[in-house]
Every structure is written in C-alpha cells, then in structure tokens.
Structure 1
Amino acid sequence: MVIHCDLLLRMVYSYTRKQAIEDGNLIDVTEQAKETGFKVPVAVSLNLYERYITPPKGLEGEGQSVTGRLHDLFSMCLLAIQDKQNESRISFQVLFLTKGTPRTLEEVEVVCQCGPDDDMKPCITLMLADDD
C-alpha cells in the first residue's frame, strides 16, 4: 500500500482554532457574545467580519457600529439555536445595511458551527456559508 506524502501530511497536521485566531483568520468575539447571553467561546470568520460586521464606509454615523452589528448577529444566532438545539451546524439569515443612499439591506446566510475547540471544550464559530 502506497501513501502519498501530501495525504500523510494532511493526516498528521491540523490547523487549530487557536492558530486561526492568532493568524487572524478567526476573530475572537467571546466577550461581546457574553453580553448577548452566550456561555461558550465565540469566534467569527475573517470573511464575515470584514464583509458584514465592519460597517461600510459612510455608515458609521448612521447608527452602524461593530458592536451593534455583532449584537444583531448574536441575537439572530440565539434564535436559530433555540429552534434547532440538537444540531451542530445551523444556517440562519441576518439583514445587514450595506449602503446608506439609497439604504440597502442585504440578507446574508450565516452558519453557526457548534463543536469542540482544541481542548475539546464547547465553542461556536460563525461564518458565511461559503467559508471553510
């Protein structure tokens, strides 16, 4: 039986949650999530954070902030979790204001992945549907 090196390397090496946070591919938002009621560590993908959590230029003065957008994301996530408590991967929709004039709301599919962290403790990762 022949095992190719690239397959063997993939089996031996795994990219940890801690590494992803250190590298900036995941953004730790645990402290903000606690304010909304989460009891486990929460991270969001960099893609979700940059595209939708960070308000687009010009919207900061229109009541749009990272804090407010995270609150909306967490609130919708909690509702989705209540509906599907026994699932580890849940999709839900969130509306984000993407333009000020004219005001444009975009419905975004977000995935909530519930699972163990590197130490096998519960955690949540929020990401766009096409994120890994």
Structure 2
Amino acid sequence: MPWDDAQSLGVADMDATHREFVEHVDALASADDSAFPALFLSLQEHTRLHFEHEGKLMKACRFPAIGEHNSEHLRVLGEFAHFARGVNAGRLTPARAYIQALPGWFATHLATMDAALAGCLKRSRGE
C-alpha cells in the first residue's frame, strides 16, 4: 500500500499522518517474524495518536459526524488491542491477516469519513 499523492486530502497535518500510517502498514506487510511484534505495537500506538489528533480536529471544526467517526476509530482501536494480545502471545498469523486487510479499510475510511473531515476543516479555516 505505497503512499499515493492522490490520497492527499489537502490538509497538511492529516496528510502527513496518513502518509506515516501507510509507511507503518507497508513495513509490517513485509516484516519477518522477529520484527513483526515491535512494528505491530508501533503501528498500534501511531494509530492511537492519529485518531486522538483527528478527534481534536473534529472538535475544532464542529464536525457534524463526530459520533460516527469516533465510533469507527474506537472499533479499529479495539481490533488492534485484540490482535496485539495475540501478537504478545506469539500468535502472528491473525495479526498478519489483519494488516493485509488494513489497506482496504484505509481507502474507504480516507475517501469517506476523513474526506468529510478535511472538507469541514477547510470550510472552518476559510479555504
């Protein structure tokens, strides 16, 4: 899932965070078993901070779909927590399957919820 500039939403901090997310997912997709656990936990933490930042952005622009967007974030963080327990116990296969599915989720989330948030931010900033 290499970063493509077509994924850019035109909000610099969101785009930078999304690019980092893609880089983390790409690193995990090709990680060997010895590197996978640390990289998975790094992505989990990056995602938590990413969603926390987006939560602040949603409040700043009074994003109308804040409840739905936050619920999606909580769902994904719950999935990460579930798979992290397995990774910590040495069960990598389910987490690897989850990482393979993330690009599809990310593409949909970016094109829908995050694009709507970016539009809200641009309007609130007068762009």
Higher relative contact order (CA 8 A, sep 6+): 2
Larger helix fraction of residues? 2
Question: Is the TM-score greater than 0.5?
Answer: no
Q: TM-score under structure 2 normalisation?
A: 0.26
Structure showing greater Rg:
1
Larger strand fraction of residues? 1
